[in-house]
Structures are given as structure tokens and as C-alpha cells.
């Protein structure tokens, strides 16, 4: 019997992983916030995944953090700002050398978790899969993609990647996961905040080429300064390609703000500006965008961190 996949957070990505693992016959247990959320979940038939327009429901078992069983493998599928406190609730259940797979976007939350869990194996992930919730306990698989997983301290791929293969979760073990996370952070910093400031789809940034180019130049310099030269290579070219290829899409940050949801700004633009400050690297345009974005968030009554 393979190790149970405990999944912390039954939101978009948590459900996407839980349903695919469960339908492949893997043991899966969802960990929900509290007894109210558990009661709400248990009042229904399970988790529903809508794929290619077809909805399928899976009766995945669920529990609260108070359940006593030890956890050997935990997929952390919360937002970056919730990850540390959500894992802390499970401290007493984490087996020595438990594996924590961290799906959070951006940077900062992974190191914060790793510092609090020195005995755990923290595996960082970067995913281009896309999913959104269109109802309680129901998720639409919106964008097929790939998930890269890696552990800066252990270059060898763990044997449980076979579970992902069986479950049809496209993935690759990456020996340079930090490069991938930094590159994704830089792409995000060059595009997402501007889509909020200009209230436009990604393609709308084609009307602001100088601003995009200036941000890319600062981000490239920052990546080099942070020892991430591979992540800085041809950044501006890729940003332009992404803007073109996703011209009709609204960025995730745009969608968060439009739906009055908290953004992950502290783990994206905030993290970049803090890293620049640590290296005493002037990034006036990134800082100006951060200040304008914070202003917008505050004006809408959203947290600015
Ligand atoms: P989401 O839909 O908001 O789901 C987060 C889930 O975490 C929610 O179900 C929330 O519970 C749960 N949660 C928060 N605190 C918890 C706690 N203490 N105990 C138990 N559950 C808790 O977020 P998401 O879109 O899946 O994103 C997760 C991460 O993946 C983010 O960092 C995001 O940037 C990244 N990501 C997402 C996508 C995507 O397409 N969605 C793609 C790539 C990367 P409630 O339901 O009770 O609020």
C-alpha cells in the first residue's frame, strides 16, 4: 500500500491533485480547516472535477487537523500567505522526516515553512496547470500544464513520483527548481501587477511596451544579483511572448482583485523588492509599481500584504 497523500487545502489545486490521485486508487485524505468545513464537505457527495466539460465526483475522505493519525506525506495546497500557519496546526502529526510538497506560487513561503520544519523534507513545486472553483467542493480543470518538483538539498528524484505517473499528473523532477521559481516570479512581476494597474487583459500590456521593458531590465539585474543568471536569460523576450500568447487572459492577480480576494503580492513583487533591498540594488520602477498596486488594494479594502 502506498503512503497516504494528505492534502492540506481543498481549493483549486488541492482538488485537482486529490481527485486525480484518488481516481488512480491512491490513498488520499483531505485536511479541512475545521469541523464546520468538514460538515459542509460531508453533507455532499465528495469532490467534483470538471474536465473537458464533464463533471465527475470522487468521494475522497476528509478530516480536520485534530485527527490523531501521523502524516508522512503532505501536499500543501493553500495560498502562500496561509501555508505556514496551516502546517503549524499539524505540527504534532508530522512524522519525523515527513515529506512536505509545497505548491505555493512565488517565493518566501517555502523558506518560511522549511525554517519552521527543520526535520521535514520540503519539496518545492512550480506548476503551469490551471484550475478554478466554480462552486463549493467543485473545481474546473482550466489549463493543462506541467508541474516541476525539486528539493535544493536532494538532487535525486523520490520514488513516490510513480504515484503521479499512475495518476496522470504531468510532472518532472527538477534539479534547478529555484531557477524555475525565480523565473516564474519574474514573469509574474513583469505582467500581473500592470494588468491590475491598467485594468486590462494580458494583451493590454502591448500598449505599454516601455514600462514592461523597464521592469524586465530591473528584474533581470535582480536575478543576476541573487545568483540566478539562468532565470534572467532573455526574460524580456519571454515576457513579450507570454503577453502575446495569453493576450485574451486575465492574470491571476487581476482575477483576485476583481473578485475582492487577497492577492499573493508579498510573495511576488514584495519578495522581489525585499531581495533588491537586501542586495542594495536600486529598483525604482519595481518599487513604484509596488506602491501603486498597494494603493489600489487599499482603495478596494483588500489586504496590502
Ligand atoms: P484556493 O483555491 O484559494 O485554495 C486554497 C485552499 O486552502 C482553500 O480551500 C482554503 O480553504 C485552504 N486553506 C487555507 N488555510 C487552511 C487551513 N488552515 N487548513 C485547511 N485548509 C486551508 O487556492 P489555489 O488557487 O488552489 O492556489 C493554491 C496555491 O497554488 C497558490 O499559491 C497559487 O498561487 C498556486 N497556483 C494556483 C494555480 C491555479 O490554477 N489555481 C496554478 C498554479 C499555482 P477554504 O476553502 O476553507 O477557504
Boundary of a domain, candidates 175, 201, 230: 175
Whole-prediction pTM: 0.96
Distance 8 CA to ligand 1 centre (A): 9
Boundary of a domain, candidates 131, 156, 175: 175
Task: Please state, for a pLDDT cut of 90, what percent of the chain lies above it.
Answer: 97
Same domain, 148 and 68: yes
Residue spans of alpha helices (H) in the chain? 12-23, 35-42, 80-88, 109-116, 161-167, 177-197, 209-225, 229-232, 235-245, 252-258, 269-278, 284-299
Q: Is pLDDT above 80 for 304?
A: yes
Q: Is residue 105 very low, low, confident or very high in pLDDT (cuts 50, 70, 90)?
A: very high
Same domain, 171 and 209: no
Q: Which residues of 66-89 are buried (b: 16+ CB within 10 A; e: fewer)?
A: eeeeebbbbbbbbbbbbbbebbee
pLDDT one-digit tens code per residue, 56-78? 999 999 999 999 999 999 999 99
Q: Is pLDDT above 90 for 298?
A: yes
Q: What is the pLDDT of residue 1?
A: 66
Same domain, 161 and 196: no
Residue 126: strand pairing partners: 148
Same domain, 133 and 183: no
Ligand 1 atom showing the smallest separation from residue 13 Cα: 26
Q: What is the pLDDT of residue 152?
A: 85
Q: Distance between CA atoms of 187 and 204, rounded to whole angstroms?
A: 16
Pocket probe for ligand 1: among 7, 11, 141, the residue whose CB has the most ligand atoms within 8 Å is: 11
pLDDT one-digit tens code per residue, 226-263? 999 999 999 999 999 999 999 999 999 999 999 999 99
What's the chain's Rg over C-alpha atoms? 19
The enclosing domain of 146 has a CATH number of: 3.40.50.720
Same domain, 282 and 263: yes
Give the number of C-alpha atoms closer than 13 A to the C-alpha of residue 10, restricted to the C-beta side.
Answer: 30
Same domain, 156 and 241: no
Burial class (CB in 10 A: 0-12, 13-18, 19+), 278: exposed
Question: What is the domain extent for residue 271?
Answer: 179-299
Same domain, 124 and 79: yes
Q: Is pLDDT above 70 for 25?
A: yes
Same domain, 295 and 208: yes
Distance 35 CA to ligand 1 centre (A): 18
Q: What is the pLDDT of residue 153?
A: 86
| For residues 129-147, average pLDDT | 95
Amino acid at each position: 500500500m502506498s503512503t497516504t497523500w494528505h492534502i492540506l487545502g481543498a481549493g483549486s489545486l488541492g482538488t485537482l491533485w486529490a481527485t486525480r490521485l484518488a481516481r488512480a486508487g491512491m490513498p488520499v485524505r483531505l485536511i479541512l480547516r475545521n469541523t464546520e468545513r468538514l460538515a459542509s464537505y460531508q453533507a455532499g457527495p465528495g469532490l467534483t472535477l470538471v474536465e473537458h466539460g464533464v463533471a465527475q465526483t470522487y468521494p475522497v475522505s476528509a478530516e480536520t487537523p485534530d485527527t490523531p493519525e501521523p502524516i508522512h506525506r503532505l501536499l500543501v495546497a493553500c495560498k502562500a500567505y496561509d501555508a505556514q500557519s496551516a502546517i503549524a496546526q499539524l505540527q504534532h502529526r508530522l512524522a519525523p522526516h515527513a515529506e512536505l510538497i509545497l505548491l505555493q506560487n512565488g517565493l518566501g513561503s517555502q523558506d518560511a515553512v522549511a525554517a519552521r520544519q527543520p526535520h521535514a523534507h520540503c519539496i518545492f513545486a512550480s506548476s503551469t496547470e490551471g484550475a478554478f472553483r466554480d462552486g463549493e467542493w467543485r473545481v474546473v480543470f482550466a489549463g493543462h500544464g506541467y508541474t516541476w518538483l525539486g528539493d535544493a538539498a536532494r538532487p535525486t528524484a523520490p520514488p513516490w513520483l510513480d504515484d503521479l505517473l499512475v495518476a496522470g499528473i504531468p510532472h518532472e523532477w527538477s534539479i534547478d527548481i529555484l531557477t524555475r521559481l525565480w523565473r516564474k516570479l519574474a514573469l509574474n512581476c513583469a505582467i500581473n501587477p500592470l494588468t491590475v494597474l491598467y485594468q486590462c487583459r494580458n494583451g493590454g500590456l502591448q500598449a505599454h511596451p516601455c514600462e514592461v521593458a523597464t521592469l524586465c531590465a530591473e528584474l533581470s539585474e535582480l536575478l543576476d544579483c541573487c545568483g540566478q543568471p539562468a532565470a534572467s536569460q532573455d526574460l524580456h523576450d519571454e515576457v513579450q511572448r507570454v503577453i502575446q500568447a495569453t493576450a485574451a487572459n486575465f492574470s491571476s492577480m487581476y482575477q483576485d482583485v476583481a473578485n475582492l480576494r487577497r492577492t499573493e503580492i508579498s510573495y511576488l513583487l514584495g519578495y522581489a523588492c525585499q531581495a533588491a533591498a537586501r542586495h542594495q540594488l536600486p529598483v525604482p520602477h519595481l518599487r513604484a509599481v509596488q506602491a501603486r498596486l498597494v494603493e489600489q488594494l487599499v482603495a478596494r479594502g483588500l489586504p496590502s500584504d
